[in-house]
Amino acid sequence: MELAVKVLCKAHLSAKFKGDLRPVFEEQRAMRITHGRKGFLPLHASWHDSDYLYLATEYYPNGDLMKEMRQWRKIPSSHARFYAAEILLALDALHKLGIIHRDIKPQNLLFDREGHLSLADFGLARVFDKPECESTDFPVQSLGTPHSSKLPHGFTNTGCGTLSYMAPEAHQHKPYSFSVDFWSLGVLLYEMLTGRLPYGDSKQSKGIPGAVISDELTFQEFDRVNDVTQDFLRSVMAKDPNARLTVAEMKAHPYFETM
């Protein structure tokens, strides 16, 4: 088995996180929790010295989803549906483990040796302790802005991620939960099908937050995205987190009927 080693500089990360190295070890924690589960990049070892933290993962030689998107420009609709289904299942499993990824994008989805997608790079992940209850599900929708300063379990308000893929509530630093990952899935599916991002790319970074918060999701005639797919995307990418589809509703949506 070939391994890839990710090397994290403690000094750089300390400056980035203002002396707080907890996010660094949060990545390690998330990868330990997901180890051995289908749909996630396996972590085989981790260690650190005075200057660096090392994460040894399985090496996937087939590249990432971004490479695939660049080759096609527009991913064929059947392929895009398959990839979206794999990402949805991985996110469902991840959330049931109490983890929000917070940086779903093509570069963080790797193809394993069988051609299936695996979720990677948990550098911005938020890991919650599991509550003592029978349910394995965590909230995927917003419960609204809490009146107290203490956020409900499963919620955070740290604004982080890649601008073009961040949900409106994350841009606004409002309390958010697992639903932000599904918004990112919607952005990713839109990008696969149309060859562009719905609210601009890094070259227009100054206008992205405002567009994500305020602009409607639009399609061009030449996109050739059918009504069922448009309905799925609009439902997953509703501005109001409470209006977004639940996991069960996404799985039951006609978009996935042929799978």
Beta carbons of 247 and 140 less than 8 angstroms apart: yes
Listed residues 15, 31, 58: the one ending a domain: 58
Listed residues 58, 73, 89: the one ending a domain: 58
- Evaluate if pTM is beyond 0.85: yes
Structural domain count, the chain: 2
Residues 216 and 155 in one domain: yes
Using one digit for the tens of pLDDT, what is the confidence trace for 8-39?
A: 898 888 887 777 777 778 899 999 999 999 99
Residues 18 and 106 in one domain: no
As a whole number of angstroms, the distance between CA 165 and CA 186 comes to: 9
Residues 249 and 151 in one domain: yes
How many DSSP H helices and E strands does the chain contain? 9, 7
**C-alpha dist (Å) from residue 26 to 67, 121, 126:** 28, 11, 7
Residues 19 and 70 in one domain: no
**C-alpha dist (Å) from residue 259 to 113, 220, 251, 256:** 22, 26, 10, 6
Residues 50 and 147 in one domain: no
Residue 123's nearest CA partner among 162, 163, 68 is: 162
Residues 151 and 42 in one domain: no
Using one digit for the tens of pLDDT, what is the confidence trace for 84-140?
A: 999 999 999 999 999 999 999 999 999 999 999 999 999 999 999 865 433 445 454
Q: How far is CA 244 from the centre of its chain?
A: 16
- Residue 151's pLDDT band (boundaries 50, 70, 90)? confident
Give me the residue label for tokens 């749909």. 39
Residues 81 and 206 in one domain: yes
As a whole number of angstroms, the distance between CA 246 and CA 259 comes to: 19
State the catalytic residue, choosing from 103, 201, 215, 223: 103
Residue 93 domain boundaries: 65-256
Listed residues 58, 74, 92: the one ending a domain: 58
**Which stretch of 15-19, 46-50, 198-202, 248-252 has the lowest confidence by average pLDDT?**
15-19
**C-alpha dist (Å) from residue 68 to 117, 152, 192:** 11, 39, 9
Residues 38 and 121 in one domain: no
Residues 221 and 102 in one domain: yes
Beta carbons of 10 and 21 less than 8 angstroms apart: yes
Mark whether 223 is an active-site residue: no
Residues 120 and 146 in one domain: yes
What CATH number did the domain enclosing 224 receive? Answer: 1.10.510.10
Residues 135 and 50 in one domain: no
Residues 46 and 80 in one domain: no
β-partners of residue 3 are 58
What CATH number did the domain enclosing 12 receive? Answer: 3.30.200.20
